[in-house]
């Protein structure tokens, strides 16, 4: 008998020191199944799984899971926050200026944190936040309005 190499969502929550609730399990699954979802989309995904949950409770659970490192929050300037389950790999995003579509981009060059600061002022840098801005294919073609 060998231990299962893949922990369940509940075990991951427990491992991160969080109290396990049905709402938190549903929220983590919703974020992981989704693609950079906003809070409203996450709330509706959680409701599909466990029934009614207030937006406030969704915010609180997102905060707890983000603080525990299970969920990553990205907040492109001028757009509402999005959440994703791909954490810890220092990947970046391309954001459409027009419609706000977000896609993943792997670490720009080499290993994290991608960029070498000209002067690190003695800081131990472990992350570089890079956002590429532009127009997505839908927005860059054939929009005549
Ligand atoms: Zn777009
Ligand atoms: Zn991402």
Residue 55: inside a domain: yes
Of 64-73, 97-106, 124-133, where does mean pLDDT reach its minimum? 124-133
Kindly identify the ligand whose nearest atom is closest to the C-alpha of 139: 1
Residue 79: inside a domain: no
pLDDT band, very low/low/confident/very high, at 145 (cuts 50, 70, 90): low
- C-alpha 143/C-alpha 90 separation (Å) is 33
- For residues 90 and 107, the answer to whether their CB atoms sit within 8 Å is yes
Between the CA of residue 103 and those of 81, 107, 140, what are the distances in Å? 14, 13, 15
CATH number at residue 23: 1.10.10.10
Residue with tokens 């944190």: 113
Q: For residue range 28-85, what is the model confidence (pLDDT) as tens digits? A: 999 999 999 999 999 999 999 999 999 999 999 999 999 999 999 999 988 999 999 9
Residue 136: inside a domain: yes
- C-alpha 72/C-alpha 60 separation (Å) is 14
- C-alpha 56/C-alpha 43 separation (Å) is 10
Residue 26: inside a domain: yes
Domain that holds residue 50: 9-74
Residue % of the chain over a pLDDT of 70: 90
How far away, in angstroms, is 95 Cα from ligand 1 center?
Answer: 8
How far away, in angstroms, is 90 Cα from ligand 2 center?
Answer: 9
Q: Is the per-residue pLDDT at 138 higher than 60?
A: yes
């Amino acid at each position: 008998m060998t231990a299962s190499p893949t922990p369940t969502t509940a075990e991951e929550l427990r491992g991160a020191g969080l109290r396990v609730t049905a709402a938190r399990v549903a929220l983590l699954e919703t974020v992981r199944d989704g693609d950079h979802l906003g809070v409203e989309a996450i709330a509706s995904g959680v409701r599909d799984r466990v029934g009614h949950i207030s937006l406030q409770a969704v915010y609180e659970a997102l905060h707890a899971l983000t603080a525990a490192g299970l969920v990553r929050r990205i907040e492109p300037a001028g757009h509402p926050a999005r959440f994703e389950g791909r954490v810890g790999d220092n990947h970046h995003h391309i954001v459409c200026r027009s419609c706000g579509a977000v896609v993943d981009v792997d670490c720009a060059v080499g290993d994290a944190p991608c960029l070498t600061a000209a002067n690190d002022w003695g800081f131990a840098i472990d992350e570089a936040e890079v956002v590429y801005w532009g127009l997505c294919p839908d927005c860059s073609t054939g929009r005549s309005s």
